A and B are shown apart, each in its own frame.
Chain A
Amino acid sequence: AQKITQTQPGMFVQEKEAVTLDCTYDTSDQSYGLFWYKQPSSGEMIFLIYQGSYDEQNATEGRYSLNFQKARKSANLVISASQLGDSAMYFCAMKMEYGNKLVFGAGTILRVKS
Chain B
Amino acid sequence: ETGVTQTPRHLVMGMTNKKSLKCEQHLGHNAMYWYKQSAKKPLELMFVYNFKEQTENNSVPSRFSPECPNSSHLFLHLHTLQPEDSALYLCASSQVFSNDAISYEQYFGPGTRLTVT
Contact = CB atoms under 8 A, between A and B. Distances in A.
Interface of A: 4, 31, 33, 35, 37, 42-47, 50, 52, 91, 93, 95, 97-107
B42 A50 contact: no
Interface residues of B, number: 25
Given A43-B111, A43-B113, A101 B103 contact: no
A44 B88 CA distance: 10
A50 B103 contact: yes
Given A43-B88, A44-B110, A45-B108, A104 B43 contact: yes
A47 B48 contact: no
A8 to B, nearest CB: 14
Interface of B: 31, 41-43, 45, 48, 50, 55-56, 88, 90, 92, 94, 96, 100-101, 103, 105-111, 113
A33 B110 contact: no
A95 B103 contact: yes
Given A100-B50, A106-B42, A43 B110 contact: yes
A100 B94 contact: yes
Nearest to A106: B42
A95 B95 CA distance: 13
Contacts of A103: 45
A70 B106 CA distance: 23
A86 B84 CA distance: 31
